[in-house]
Structure 1
Amino acid sequence: MMLSTAVKNQSRLLTRVSQFGVLAALVLLIIFGALRYTGFMSEYNFSTFLRYNSMFGLVSLGMCFVILTGGIDLSVGSVVALASVVAALLSPYGALTAVLGAMAAGALIGLINGLIITRLNIQPFITTLATLLGARGLALLLANNQGGVGVDPNNAAFTWLGQGNLLHLPVPGVMMIVAFVAGSVLLSLTPFGRHALAVGGGEDASKLMGLPVNRIKVTVYVLSGALAGLAGLILASQLGAGQPTEGVGWELSAIAGVVVGGTLLTGGTGSVWSTLVGAMLLGLIFNILNFENGKGVISLSPYWQSVIRGAFLLLVVLLQTRLGRRSDRS
């Protein structure tokens, strides 16, 4: 018992070190950008950065809860695309209808994921890979195989959700911050959050303790889908059209943000706010690369973003694996 407690304490300590390291890296990058680039600290750059990266933040938040329980959700990118099409189709009926419809579409895919995983005992990787393909196909069907579905140009409230400001902040950024506050409360201050961490720490032990493991797992997938749906709504509002071909690779960006933030891929340990820091760190790296391209020193195409995300994810997973082995030997 004492040995097990010592190992857990060491694992938590290593995770905390990782989380503070990511925060330090974020602060250093901000200082670097402020010193090197004209306009980096401008209101325009801050607003544009927050408006665009809010979508990745929302998807990463949902992914955080899934990974905390020891699962994975590869369908979120396709869910974003599907929700953007649904939101565009519902935009003539009002902004609230579009919001509810987009989130409901995402939650439905999440519910399907959760039920297949818990009732049919199919691995999350396989299940969400299947729904990734299914959601993408459904998005294309709803869009009649077109490149986009235009939103109602007369619905100013719908456009405001993606392009407007609230209290001098981009509305998508405000939505993301509210979501993370709610997610932090849910994880830290409610029985559901403690139970989700327990399931990720040991599913069999959680069942022996009488926790509703299957219900918890279904709930986190529904939450992930709903947040991806909200990101899809923002995407449609920003671009003025539902985008059935968008969201490719977003699931990897979300996983990278969560893992870079210090959440263990094996589940049981992690933080909502560290996930936000990880997602913003990745977004800031690409923002700095755009400024560097503007200086003419380097010239990197947008495809390099995928290379960088992959390298970051691999590096952090390798680091987590090494730290985990040290913890096991201890």
Structure 2
Amino acid sequence: MSQLRADDAPSRPSFVRRLLRSRETGIVTALAIMVVVLSILEPDFASSDNLLNDARNFSFVGIVVLGQAMVMITGGIDLSVGSVWGLSAVSSAALMAAGFGVVPACLLALLAAAVVGLFNGLCVTKLRMPPFVPTLATMSIARALALVITRGKSIDGFRPDGDWFYAIGGGDFLGLPTPFIIFLVLSVIVSLVLNRSVYGRQLYAVGGNEKAARLTGLDVDNLKISVYVISSLLAGLAGIVEVSYLSSGISNQGVGKELSVIAAAVIGGTNLNGGEGTVLGVFVGAVILEVLRNGLVLLGTDAYWQGVFVGSVIVFAVFIDQLRKGVWRRR
């Protein structure tokens, strides 16, 4: 028998080829191009103050994107995150205005957020509802509750225990905005969970093939419930951090943010059908959205056109991802 020659063995793709095929490489390159072009067209964009302001702004959406990505990895979607964001914000502000301490008020607000997530998860798993239905319902319910709490007015005049609460959203640490630090730490934690834990691998398995996951003995229902609770908790956390930054709670906080959150996840390469997505991708996706928004403002673009540009970026990002996967070559 002839011996197997070295060149007959299947070769592993080179590092460069794997890098070029990586979804993250494409969006990081796109982000770099956007930054360079905007810096040339509008020098103020590259100023340290503007970049730090961008970092603070995209961190609120970024915190929520992390939970949304976990839901989408399992093949679901959470449309209620913007309303949960607002509900948590106004409920924490209202509780502090009523005399509760910072910690009890924030914990109760997060508990309310978790209840919404639990409801979503139970509807999806036990009642076998499509994720779109219960999360759309709780989007309406949570927004209505936020209006009930505020009566359509802002909640001001609360002074929590000292000024440390305001530093959570409006302060800086090591020269960086505190919300960005929170987003960064949470990104590292979620990345470790998804990539280095059994739980994370199980989430990808559920999104990749739910039927096979059930046959292998995975508790698919509890896994799905857990990601909806996590998604709502992170949305609630974003609301509290924003209340700290604004020093007030208003009923329209988080309005429309579910679209930004989903857009950032999609731009970052999270598959709407489940089974695919990375923390690095959604991190960059959140940054791209804010860079685009900020750049359009600095360039004097009509605010009404911003949604057109964001929508175009989403379609283009998905198109490029389909090209990368060779979808049309397989047809």
Give the TM-score band, short-chain normalised: 0.7 to 0.9
Percent sequence identity over matched residues?
A: 39
In structure 2, the partner of 1:3 is none
The equivalent of 1:231 in structure 2 is 238
Return the alpha-carbon distance in structure 1 between the equivalents of residues 53 and 138 of structure 2: 31
Q: Name the SS of the counterpart of 2:159 in structure 1.
A: coil
In the aligned structure 1, how far is the partner of 2:234 from the partner of 2:91? 14
State the Cα distance separating 1:98 from its structure 2 match: 3.5
Give yes or no for contact 1:151–1:236 (8 Å, CA) kept in 2: no
| Structure 2 stretches lacking a partner, 5+ long | 1-12
Runs of 5+ in structure 1 lacking a partner? 1-8, 294-298
- 2:302 corresponding residue in structure 1: 300
1:33 CA displacement:
2.9
**One-letter amino acid of the structure 2 residue matched with residue 222 of structure 1:** V
Structure 1 residue identity aligned to 2:249: G
Q: What aligned pairs does 1:105-144 form with structure 2 within 5 A after superposition?
A: 105-143=112-150
Shift of 1:152: 1.3
* Contact 1:14-1:323 within 8 A present in 2 as well: no
Partner of 1:4: none
Q: Hey, what does 2:312 align to over in structure 1?
A: 311
Give distance in 2, aligned partners of 1:125 and 1:14. Answer: 35
- Secondary structure class of the residue paired with 2:22: helix
- Checking the alignment, whether the CA contact within 8 Å between 1:151 and 1:242 is kept in structure 2 is no
| 1:142-221 mapped onto 2 (5 Å cutoff) | 142-143=149-150, 145-150=151-156, 152-153=158-159, 155=161, 156-221=163-228
Q: How does 1:1-330 map to 2 (within 5 A)?
A: 16-91=21-96, 92-143=99-150, 145-150=151-156, 152-153=158-159, 155=161, 156-293=163-300, 299-301=301-303, 303-320=304-321, 326=327, 329=330
SS at match of 1:184: helix
**Given the two structures, how large is their TM-score scaled by the length of structure 1?**
0.88
Report Cα offsets for 1:177-221 as digits up to 9, x if no partner: 111011101100111100000000010000000011001100100
CA offsets 1:81-106 (integer angstroms, 9 cap, x no match): 10111120233433333432332222
Q: State the superposition RMSD in angstroms.
A: 2.2
1:71–1:233 distance in 2 versus 1, CA, 3 Å: same
Q: Is the 8 A contact 1:16 1:262 kept in 2?
A: no
Question: What is the SS of the residue equivalent to 1:24?
Answer: helix
Contact 1:15 1:262 in 2 (8 A): no
User: C-alpha displacement at 1:30, in angstroms?
Assistant: 1.9
Q: What is the deviation of 1:35?
A: 3.2
Output the CA distance in 2 between the equivalents of 1:15 and 1:126.
Answer: 38
- The equivalent of 2:7 in structure 1 is none
Q: Deviation at 1:31?
A: 2.2
Contact 2:101 2:160 in 1 (8 A): no
How far 1:14 sits from its partner (Å)?
11
1:308, CA displacement in angstroms?
2.5
Q: Distance in 1 between matches of 2:205 and 2:178?
A: 35
Instruction: Work out whether residues 102 and 232 of structure 1, in 8 Å CA contact, stay in contact via their aligned partners in 2.
Output: no
Change (3 A) 1:114 1:57: same
Q: Partner residue of 1:6?
A: none
Q: Is the 8 A contact 1:95 1:157 kept in 2?
A: no
Query: Structure 1 residues 148, 277: closer, same or farther in 2, change over 3 A?
Result: same
Report the residue type matching 1:225 in the other structure.
S
After TM superposition, give the deviation of residue 322 of structure 1 in Å. 6.3
1:52-97, Cα deviation, whole Å (9 max, x unpaired): 1111101111110000000000000101110111120233433333
Q: Any idea what SS the aligned residue of 2:43 has?
A: coil
Asked whether the equivalents of residues 139 and 244 of structure 1 are also in contact (C-alpha less than 8 Å), the reply is: yes
Give the CA deviation at 1:151. 5.3
**CA separation in 1, counterparts of 2:154 and 2:243?**
9
Counterpart code for 1:329:
R
CA distance 1:272–1:305, shift in 2 (3 Å): same
Paired residues in the alignment total: 312
C-alpha contact 2:21 2:324 (8 A) present in aligned 1:
no
Q: Structure 2 vs 1, CA of residues 26 and 151 (structure 1 numbering), >3 Å: closer, same or farther?
A: farther
Q: Give, in angstroms, the shift of residue 269 of structure 1.
A: 1.1
- Whether contact under 8 Å (2:102, 2:160) holds in the other structure is no
